Structures are given as C-alpha cells and as structure tokens.
Structure 1
C-alpha cells in the first residue's frame, strides 16, 4: 500500500529534460512494400505533436519508428534517421532498450498485464528497462497521480489491472510508461476505444504531462487534435500503391485555419477521410 507522504518530484523528473525528436527523410518498408516516403518532422520538446491523416497513410508506422518498434517486425526496414536531441536512436550510442526507456509508448488498446495487480503494472516497466528504485511506493503514487488515476485506485492497488474500466486501464498504461521517467511519450490513438468522459480525462492528462514530457500522438479525431496539440503533421497516401507522405506540418492553429495545401484543407474540413 502506498504511504501517505509528500511525493518526491525527483522520482519522475530525474530525466526532467524533455527532448526534441527529429525525423529526417524517413522512408519505411514492410518487405518489398514501401509505406513511408522521405518524411521529415521536428517534434519539439515540451510540446504535443499530433499526427493526422486517413487510415493507412503511415501514421502509426511513423510513430513506431520513433522508438525502434518498427524493427521488431520481420522484413521491416527504414532509411533516414531519427535523432533525440541530436543523437541517432538507430546509431551505436543508444541500445534499443535505452531508446524505449527514453521514448515510451501507449497503444491504441489498453494493455495492462492481466496477471499483475495495479501496483505491479505500474512498476513493470522498471524491470523491463533495468531501472531500479528504492522508493517504489512513492513512485507508484506519483505515476498514478500524473496519469490522473491515483484518487480512483489508491485503495485498490492490490487488485488486478484488468478489473479497471477501459478508461482507467488506459490511464494505468500511461502510469506504467511514466514510471521509468521517459523524455518522450508516444501515443497511438489512445482514446479511440474510450467513451467521451474517459476521453476527456485522458486529454486533460496529456495537457498536464506536456509541461514535462514531449508527446507525439496519432489521432483520427480532428477536434481532439485541435484540443490537445501544439503542432500537427498531416499524412496522406495519394493512391493505394503509393507510400504515405507528410503533406504539411506546423502549428495546429495554422494547419486548421490557414493550411497551405488544398489537400490539408479538404481533410481537416471533412471533405474526405
């Protein structure tokens, strides 16, 4: 059971230097099929960047490349580079484990570990990343607090993670990602399976987290992109045989109110997609 003591901010802020992530001329393949073509994007520190576009245009693939999950798929490969504060995440300086510790991921469908309690779920990332902590109770409390879940589960920490509602499970997964103090958090449609109330809570959590963590989110919800993001990148596939490309990117307000490309205007106003 978590102790009633002041939260030590150093626990989750021990890497309190949100990083800038730069994708430079990224192309990607699944076997012989090219799915992304020369995509470049700067994801600014302490900002929320939304990746928008129709289904099948490469947004989730792009996101998974950003923490080296793409390379886990047989036959998958990339060209180009991804830099975290100027260091290539695919280079020799960083291992895949270190990359995934510094750049966390929250998936579309909540995936708490079914055999673990709520507390164990929060701490699971420590073991996977090789991180240690002698203040685990405080770490659980702060992680759940920052994920907007502590008051709802503080008396249920020994219950299974899957006993929670869908929205609570997603926030538990956010807490699990936060426990290893990432500099960047990737979120692949984190609200697509949630009801409107849970969606609002998760969106509020994203806004709060952006003060300390760089966030990149894939979303098909244009209103959500406008509510939570500072910057946007619009991905598009012109025909089914072509790879996805970034049509344009920039501040969210400009992309929605004064897009430079007619295709962007057509998409954000609902004319297609």
Structure 2
C-alpha cells in the first residue's frame, strides 16, 4: 500500500508540472534513479513565442520616459557665458563707434533737409533785410561844390602834379650824386670754374665755329622724270620687238626601231 500511495503522489506532481504557463503541455522525461525520482525538463519556447516576448519587452522599454537631471549648481562655472557676453558687448561698442565715425564723414543727400536749410536761410535774409530797412537812414546826396566844377580848379591840380614830379626827379639826381660805388665782391669759385670750362671748351671746339671755304656745287636743275620714263618704255618695246624667237623643228624618235638589247631596262619594264 505504501508503494502504491507514493507512486500516486509522484504521478500527480508530474501531471501538474507538465503544463506550462501558456497552458501547453510540456514533454517530460522520466528516469529510474536510485530513489526513483522523475526529472522534468522544461521545454524551450517556440520561435514565435520568443519573438512576441521580445517585442513586448521592447515596447515596454520604449514607453519608458527618461528625464535628464539638471547639472548641479556647485559644479558649473559661467566662464563661457561671461566670455560670450563680453564679446557681444565689444562687438556692439565697435559697431556704434564705426557708425558714429561714418555719420561724421558722410555727406547726406536729402532734398528735404536741403530745402529746410534753404528756407531757414531765406527767412534769415528776409529778417535781416527788414531790420536794415528799418534802421538804415535815408541817404541825402550833397550838391557838388562849385569850386570842383570850376575849370581853374582842374588846372591848379595839374600844376601841383607837375611840381611833384619835378621834385621827385631832383631828389633822385641828388641821391645819385651823393651815393658811392657798390663794393665789388669776390667772384665765387663756382663762377670761376664755369668760366674756365667755357674757355677750355672754346679752345677744343673752336674749329667748329670757323667758316669753311669749301662750297660743294649742287645741280639746281630738276630732271623731267615723265620724259625719262617714256624714253625707258620706248627702249623696252624696241628690245622686245628685236628679240629672236626660237623655232622648233620637227623630229622623230627612233626608239621603236631599236633592238631589244639596246633598249633601257625602264622601257622593257613598261612594255611588260
């Protein structure tokens, strides 16, 4: 009885473990050992089941949401940010300086500004003209004095001018008589050198300045080239008419009458 009960318990355990989680019955292997235990080996999953399980695991992994933790404040130093801000500040300052410099140099060509300046100038001129009209007194012409219109007055002026010229001439003569001759200064060495160079040049090249006695005779008569050309043509025509023309006399080649051994090898080859 004990043996039968133990076998029933073992068979029930084997039956329970023979089913997998998917409800598929797994094969089992029994072996007879020293104690008679049954060793069950779980069956490997099928390829389709493993693919589905892998897809489920990948889907679950993809559905996970990750969030990057911020960098702690105690380890970050704003050196790069400070450098960028400094570069931006210097760039803006340089741009403003260049713009101000160009504004000082440029010559604006705008009509409305020119018109405004012109209107302001006209207003200033009108205002100054109005002020001058108000302030300027009325000029009254004085009559010409009778002494000026008198002809004796002009004669008197002419006499005074003549006397002034005479006095100037006399004063100049007196100063010329009282003056002494100017001090003769020594000639500089450069002038002496130039003079010596001129004297030596005149000695060496004096023959060029001499007048030559030989006068070649020149033919003043100009030949008549047209007549000379006509005479030349006439002579050429006469020489052409007198030229004897060579006349060719008839002749006969006798190569056909020659014997074969007298003929040249070239003729024999041509005949072949």
Q: Under a length normalisation based on structure 2, what TM-score does the superposition of the two structures give?
A: 0.11
- Say which structure, 1 or 2, has more relative contact order (CA 8 Å, 6+ apart): 1
Q: Which has the higher helix share?
A: 2
Q: Give the structure with higher Rg (CA).
A: 2
